[in-house]
A and B are shown apart, each in its own frame.
Chain A
Amino acid sequence: MIEQIHYATTPKYNFPQIRENMSLPKRFIELSLNSMSEIKERCFQPWIDLSNLQVERIEEQEDIIEVYGKDTLSLISSLEPVPDGTPIIAIDTSSIKVGETGSGIICAVRGAVVWNEKKRYKYLRLGPFPFHITEENRKEILSILGQYSPINFGSSLFLIEIQSRLCNALEKWIQMMISRSVSDSIILWDGSLTSKSSSGYLDTLAGILRNARNNSNIVLSFSKASTVRFLGRRITDLLSKHKAPCILEIEEEMLSLSSKNLRLLGKIYVARLNDKGYTFRVDVDRSLPKEIQIIAIQRLLGNDIIFQGYPEALRLAHIFSTFTASDVIGIQRFIAREYGLKVVTWPNIRKALFGPFGTGGAGD
């Protein structure tokens, strides 16, 4: 059943009271402190490898979704921007490995919220939170993350995956806080609104979307890389020659989910928001009526800058959460000073054995 929601005619600005509920950051800080306290005066090898070790979060592994029946794809090409002052709020998180110890890895996690207030962007950044992840403390970490990053304890995870779980948890917490604390807004996420039906993550995601709806918010989720295919081609390629702004609506009946246990919590659209931009898969909370979903995209067009087909607020959220090399050096400096770590360089076996051919293979 589609829940009835009420949209105020004049959106009232009431942005984020995120500080009101700080339960997760408190637990995050405790977890960070506890994990880091184990490494006092130990050896530490700093890392700066931005290309390999920066992860926003590990998405729920989404299988390929095939679309059948091109005739039934409906193109909505006359999208008029609605500049009604609707607040646009974007959320993104990021994590990075900053070093290794004798017993594990040290990573840092950071989240960012960007919103457009009176045509000016503002941001709120949370973190960075450093964590020392080891074989010994990973279960403890996962249990503390609880509802924000549910996981089957039976499955074994690489330490690097724990890092992405931490990132996930922070992101879900920020999404939860924003969905509860703002109203009449469009909330932009990075990724898709899908989940495996067996994972506890589905309930978390559904809960966040419900909270958002209850406060008359609409969640739009942008995927930079989509797994939706039509005749083996990426669905985003279908709109490449159409005049923007336009969207392609994909009915759920047209989808053949190769993995039966995949649950879609969003209605999938393919959106080409400006002529010079890229085409993205955009998931809109499927519990909302179709008209509202389309108006949400029009409001996004009318109230945010669209650069290369991507909302500026979401681009900024990504930029503000992402770690640069100087961030990493600063974090390493903090860790080394705060915990009295001895900076060492352990020999790279791969490099020692294979010389210039000893590239890649991290983690094996």
Chain B
Amino acid sequence: MSMRLYKKIGNTIHIISFPDEEIEKGGYLVIEDKKAGKSMIAQVIDIQFANVPGIMEELLREPLIDDPVKGEDIDPFDITSHILYVQDARLLICKSYGTLKDGRLSPDSSWLPSRTHSVIYRLPIERLMEIAGITKSFPINLGETMEMTPIIIDASGLDGKLNIITGRKGTGKSHLSKLLVLGLIEHGATVIVLDLNGEYKNLGLNINGEENEFSKKIHVLTPGENFKLTLKEVGLGVMMRILVHALDLPGTSSREFRHIWRFLEERGLLSLHELGEAIRRWQCNQQVKDALFSRYYTILHTNFFADDPKESLNFESLLREVEDNGGGAIIIDLSSSSTIDRQIIVECMLAKIQDLLSQWKIRAIFLFAEEAHLYLRETYWDDIVTRMRHFGVFTTFITNQPNTIKENIYRQADNIFLFNFVNEHDLETISRAARVDAETTISIVRDLPPHYCLILGEVVKDFPIIAKIRPLNIKTMGETRLFFAEKGKS
């Protein structure tokens, strides 16, 4: 290796490298200053051509016509190879991530390694993970690094944390999400997936459609089919949240509804049918009555609520069963639900989970929410990252529209899994993540190939690492149905 330290401005380091040195964007380097007795660890965030003087003249050695000039060099000393070597010199733009002294890592990047006698060499990611102290107590194998070495994160890095998985369509977000879900349940965690497109339903089946080792741990709930609740199970508090937040019921009408609910509850008549009847008979302003009726029918048509307790799912029991059986995933299939139904279902379910957690009836939940902006009300976002986290709801947001997640969520995210983005607006949004500087994020994410992701945060001890996500032997449903592919088959 003959890399040379050229410049250091703040935590940005410029290193001159030559074509025979295999350095990739995202790779790590050690700048070892033996005299100072310490080394700086830096990540290559961009590779540019070095500003070698005379390059422009070289490129202009062309005639006035379009054809390039062909020719031969009689170069007995083979100096041309040295000239070409120099012309292909590269400038590595790196970010410093700390100092290694006596085998111990510190975040100090303020010192200057010597330009003249520093030795620069590649730091394998595997070794970096050792140095950084990335534990593997609850391993989740994500795939491999750019250096083809395995990349294993510790599930405890997701515990109690807020995570974001984002990237352009078709880059592999859902795939990683499934991998994390399976990794978590393998270690006994309870996972709830808000499955917008019905693509997690087959997590219990392998690629051939046969049951896999997770099949007993995957519980698919389809609202209106095997996922219904009685009004009693829902409770007034949750119903009021649905009415106010999901169905925008005004204050006066809400008050009347509360009276009606209590009236029925006191008489042991709490059912959908009786609720409708009570609204019809209730002595109140006609406008209030109309407002209550329109919400009532919306609730009725969700098919999510049942009067018969046999039809109803005991959500609490299911969660306990999952916990007792050493973890599992509850997939809420929202693929057939309308927008308003989705909001009602999610509102209802989150309120239920919060109740159970606050009463210590269950331990903790890992919640995977795909495109959460389509069903999560505005005020819930902050609730999820603050209050609900304390109760034990550890959320992972998955989206291909990074601007649908608020800036403060990015700032508070503990782990971010970034797939490719090319749109400047998207890149700017994700660059707000507090776990790494904007330059690193934008430069690396822009060039990530499909199925490669940049991992930032706690699971990688804040050393951004590029991972190629491994394939899963599960039946996928997330693939887009194609018209021409089907035509071809027929």
Query: A interface vs B, CB < 8 Å?
Result: 19, 25, 29, 32, 48, 50, 108, 114, 119-130, 305, 307, 312, 316, 319-320, 322, 324-331, 333-334, 337-338
Contacts and interface: CB of A to CB of B under 8 A. Distances in A.
A124 B75 CA distance: 10
A316 B63 contact: yes
Contacts of A324: 53-55, 57-58
A29 B79 CA distance: 13
B72 A330 contact: no
Contacts of A320: 61, 69, 71
A97 to B, nearest CB: 15
B84 interface: yes
B71 A125 contact: yes
A108 B84 CA distance: 17
Interface residues of B, number: 29
Interface of B: 52-55, 57-58, 60-61, 63-65, 67, 69-77, 79-80, 82-87
A48 B70 CA distance: 28
Contact of B74 (A120, A126, A322, A334): A126
Contact of A333 (B54, B72, B86): B86
Contacts of A337: 82
Nearest to B76: A29
Contacts of B70: 120, 122-123
B69 to A, nearest CB: 5
A229 B22 CA distance: 61
Contact of A130 (B63, B74, B77): B77
A337 B86 CA distance: 13
Given A120-B69, A123-B69, A326-B55, 4 more contacts: A119-B65, A120-B67, A316-B63, A338-B77
B74 A19 contact: yes
A319 B75 CA distance: 17
Nearest to A115: B71
Given A312-B63, A312-B64, A327 B77 contact: no
A121 B69 contact: yes
Contact of A123 (B71, B80, B84, B85): B71
A269 to B, nearest CB: 24
B76 A326 contact: no
A124 B82 CA distance: 19
* Chain B facing A: main interface SS: mixed
Contacts of B85: 330, 333
A325 B89 CA distance: 14
A29 B77 CA distance: 8
B79 A130 contact: yes
The residue among A120, A316, A326, A327 with the most chain B CB atoms within 10 A of its own CB is: A326
A330 B84 contact: yes
B79 A331 contact: yes
Contact of A129 (B52, B60, B77): B77
Closest 6 CB pairs of A and B: A330-B83, A325-B54, A324-B54, A325-B53, A123-B71, A326-B54
Contact of B87 (A50, A122, A125, A330): A330
Nearest to A32: B77
A198 to B, nearest CB: 34
B69 A128 contact: no
A307 B52 CA distance: 29
A216 to B, nearest CB: 25
Given A125-B72, A129-B77, A328 B61 contact: no
A61 to B, nearest CB: 29
A333 B55 contact: no
Contact of A330 (B60, B69, B82): B82
A327 B63 contact: no
B74 A125 contact: yes
A289 B69 CA distance: 34
A92 to B, nearest CB: 13
A82 B77 CA distance: 42
B65 A305 contact: yes
A327 B71 contact: no
